[in-house]
């Protein structure tokens, strides 16, 4: 009967029937797929509950339920991507600090060199409650609210110093320069670490803004910084997003809207289903659509940094300079969970105005060992900017102008990561009440640093010596070390410098780090950035490069 009716239909009706039949089959397949997925989820939950129930009844020891719960959740989410994470109630404050750069406290970085020793004020923030109360770098905290700091680690001391804004914390303090022991009350405030860490004029015409995050209201902070620089005569803007790991997408859109015409597409968002597609366009009038803009990026520029960079590049509104960005094209959303937990879950991918996704790793495709890989350049695609320039997807934002980065020796990494320069700065502060103004300050007593550093424990081997040690181990494994002993000894004499020799050999490389740390201790974080700019070779390169013009 069906075939008979089908044969008697007109050609158009036959076509419609085929389309409807195909659609029905697709829907049926989609429905079956959804049912299969739901069945597997239900099956998994049932098995998990059965295992936990059996463990609860039969396991020989007391179950560490809380630890098992967190471990199970973390292991499950690790199969997805590194950005989908569970945040239990007890970690909410740290989570808020991570995404909002805010906390209730006194506004100072502390240093605890010894669990049985005192706490040192390492870096107080400008205008913070700590500074208002008279605390300064190098001051030692003997007690916090009547509790000795001896026996407490740094995190325990930090927790006692944090608290609800408006509450008071009492310190027993030994002052750094006088040695006097005094009591100091500090009223806690809501501390917000600014995303616009610095802005200023680099010369008569180039304005500079350093942005380190994308938390709430940073677009207004940037607007204010821009207006201030314009008043100082800025003719070209350098927006430094190097090392900026991103944050709120809404703030990225707001920042782009400052420099492009109203109604411009900034970013689009695509989830698992077609219904999840969204476009985000600028809705505000810009403040300047003409000023030349340099955007500085590197491998640490990610997420919202790449949205801003990609949009300004695709719209041919800025010249991007530096190194290829990180390649995070995934969008996360915060979802509430039972018992005051939260799930930060990847819900979509974002695309720049030209249509490219900058995601560098495909987490949905894993090797048998569970590892993931970067998308190879051979599988990337070409896209066109507003004025027809070619750009590519799949691996971050490639700058319009590649800049030579600054490389550091193994020794400098060891001095910084090991805290040797940091500790020296505190020692220096204890012996010097002041230093010249930042613009006039240059560290000249390098031998003083050498005397301090030679007594510190850190890995002072050169890269060559580290490779030598590894090579020697491999030769020993292969049974070849004895035969190569004369050659090895001769090579070691050439490359094995003692600690003081190597420190002096790297003097010019080390001094900028010392100057920056000292400037921060005496004149706060902005001063440290001013010193850093003094030695910023990629920035100096950028200022001499030709801009893209139309």
Which of the listed residues 192, 211, 238 is the one where a domain comes to its end? Answer: 192
Residue 288 maps to a domain: yes
Catalytic site residue 314? yes
CATH number, domain with residue 372: 3.90.226.10
| 130 and 247 share one domain | no
Residues 416, 313 share a domain = no
Contacts of 397 (CB under 8 A, 6+ apart): 297, 301, 306, 309, 310, 313, 320, 324, 325, 358
Q: Dihedral (C-alpha) 314, 317, 322, 325: value to the nearest 10 degrees?
A: -40
Please report the pLDDT score of residue 35 as a whole number: 66
Same domain, 225 and 361: yes
**DSSP string for residues in 73-97:** HHHHHHTT-TT-EEE-GGGHHHHHH
For residue 537, the surrounding DSSP H or E stretch is helix 537-544
Is the residue at 43 inside a domain? yes
In a shared domain, residues 115 and 29: no
In a domain, 185, yes or no: yes
Identify the pLDDT of residue 152: 93
Q: CB–CB of 301/242 below 8 Å?
A: yes
Residues 204, 308 within the same domain: yes
Final residue belonging to a domain, choices 63, 79, 112: 63
Are 292 and 342 found together in one domain?
yes
Inside any domain, residue 485: no
Nearest to 450 by CA among 494, 389, 504: 504
Residues 42 and 114 in one domain: no
Say if residue 242 is in the same domain as residue 351.
yes
**295 three-state secondary structure:** strand
Identify the domain boundary among 192, 223, 252. 192
Catalytic-labelled residue, pool 81, 206, 314, 400: 314
CA–CA separation, 463 and 466 (whole Å)? 5
Q: Is 295 domain-assigned?
A: yes
Rounded to 5°, the CA angle 163-166-172 comes to 65
In angstroms, the CA 251 to CA 377 distance is: 30
Tokens 């920056």 correspond to 516
Instruction: State the Cα–Cα distance between residues 417 and 409, nearest whole angstrom.
Output: 13
- HSE-CB for 443 with a 13 A CA cutoff: 24
Residue 351 lies in a domain: yes
Positions in the chain short of pLDDT 70:
1-35, 368-371, 373
Whether residue 297 sits in one domain with residue 247: yes
Residues with Cβ < 8 Å from 347, sequence gap 6 or more?
271, 276, 331, 332, 333
Strand, coil or helix: 143: strand
Structural domain count, the chain:
4
Give the helix/strand (H/E) hosting 170.
strand 168-174
Q: Would residue 303 show up in a list of annotated catalytic residues for this protein?
A: yes
Residue 501 and residue 484: Cα distance in Å, rounded? 27
Q: What is the DSSP string of 342-370?
A: EEEEEEEEEE-TTS-----B-TT---TTS
Same domain, 398 and 418: no
- Catalytic residue (one of 128, 303, 305, 354): 303
CA torsion angle 296 300 303 306 (round to 10): 20
**Identified catalytic residue from 328, 344, 400, 536:** 328
Q: What's the pLDDT at 18?
A: 54
**Are the CB atoms for 299 and 285 separated by under 8 Å?**
no
Residue 522 lies in a domain: yes
Contact 514, 534 (CB under 8 A): no
Q: What is the pLDDT of residue 492?
A: 84
Are 223 and 75 in contact, with CB atoms under 8 Å apart?
no
3-state secondary structure of 238: strand
The verdict on 238 and 346 lying in the same domain is yes
- Find tokens 């049912």 and name the residue: 35
221 and 298 both lie in a single domain: yes
Does 314 map to a domain? Answer: yes
CATH of the domain at 177: 2.30.42.10
Its domain, for residue 237, covers 196-402
The pLDDT value given to residue 17: 53
């Amino acid at each position: 009967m069906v075939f008979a009716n089908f044969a008697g239909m007109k050609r158009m009706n036959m076509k419609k029937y085929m389309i409807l039949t195909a659609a029905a089959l697709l829907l049926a397949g989609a429905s079956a797929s959804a049912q299969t997925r739901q069945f597997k989820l239900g099956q998994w939950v049932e098995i998990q509950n059965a295992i936990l129930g059996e463990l609860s009844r039969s396991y020989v020891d007391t179950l560490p339920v809380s630890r098992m719960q967190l471990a199970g959740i973390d292991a499950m989410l690790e199969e997805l991507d590194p950005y989908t994470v569970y945040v239990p109630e007890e970690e909410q404050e740290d989570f808020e600090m991570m995404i909002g750069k805010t906390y209730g406290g006194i506004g100072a970085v502390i240093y605890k060199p010894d669990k049985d020793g005192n706490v040192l004020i390492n870096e107080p923030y400008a205008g913070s409650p700590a500074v208002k109360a008279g605390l300064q770098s190098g001051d030692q905290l003997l007690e916090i609210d009547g509790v000795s700091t001896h026996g407490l680690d740094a995190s325990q001391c930090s927790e006692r110093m944090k608290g609800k804004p408006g509450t008071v914390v009492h310190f027993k303090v030994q002052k750094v320069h006088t040695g006097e022991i005094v009591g100091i009350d500090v009223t806690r405030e809501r501390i917000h670490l600014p995303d616009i860490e610095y802005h200023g004029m680099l010369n008569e015409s180039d304005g500079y803004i350093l942005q380190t995050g994308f938390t709430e209201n940073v677009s207004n902070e940037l607007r204010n910084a821009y207006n201030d620089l314009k008043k100082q005569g800025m003719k070209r803007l350098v927006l430094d997003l190097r090392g900026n790991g991103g944050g709120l997408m809404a703030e990225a859109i707001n920042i782009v809207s400052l420099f492009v015409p109203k109604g411009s597409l900034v970013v689009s968002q695509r989830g698992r289903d077609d219904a999840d597609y969204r476009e985000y366009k600028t809705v505000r009038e810009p403040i300047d659509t003409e000023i030349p803009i340099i955007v500085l990026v590197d491998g640490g520029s990610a997420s919202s940094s790449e949205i801003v960079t990609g949009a300004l590049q695709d719209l041919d509104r800025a010249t991007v300079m530096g190194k290829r960005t990180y390649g995070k094209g995934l969008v996360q959303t915060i979802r509430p969970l039972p018992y005051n937990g939260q799930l930060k879950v990847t819900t979509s991918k974002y695309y720049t105005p030209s249509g490219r996704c900058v995601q560098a790793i495909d987490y949905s495709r894993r090797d048998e060992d569970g590892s993931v890989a970067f998308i190879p350049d051979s599988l990337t695609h070409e896209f066109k900017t507003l004025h027809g320039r070619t750009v590519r997807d799949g691996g971050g934002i490639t700058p319009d102008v590649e800049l030579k980065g600054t490389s550091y020796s193994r020794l400098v990494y060891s001095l910084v990561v090991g805290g040797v320069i940091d500790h020296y700065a505190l020692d220096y502060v204890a012996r010097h009440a002041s230093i010249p103004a930042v613009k006039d300050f240059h560290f000249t007593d390098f031998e003083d640093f050498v005397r301090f550093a030679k007594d510190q424990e850190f890995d002072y081997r050169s890269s060559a010596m580290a490779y030598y040690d590894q090579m020697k181990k491999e030769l020993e494994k292969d049974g070849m070390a004895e035969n190569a002993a004369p050659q090895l000894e001769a090579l070691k004499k050439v490359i094995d410098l003692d600690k003081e020799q190597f420190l002096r050999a790297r003097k010019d490389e080390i001094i900028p780090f010392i100057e920056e740390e000292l400037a921060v201790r005496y004149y706060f974080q902005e001063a440290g950035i001013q010193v850093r700019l003094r030695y910023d070779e990629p920035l100096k390169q950028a200022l001499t490069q030709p801009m893209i013009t139309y």
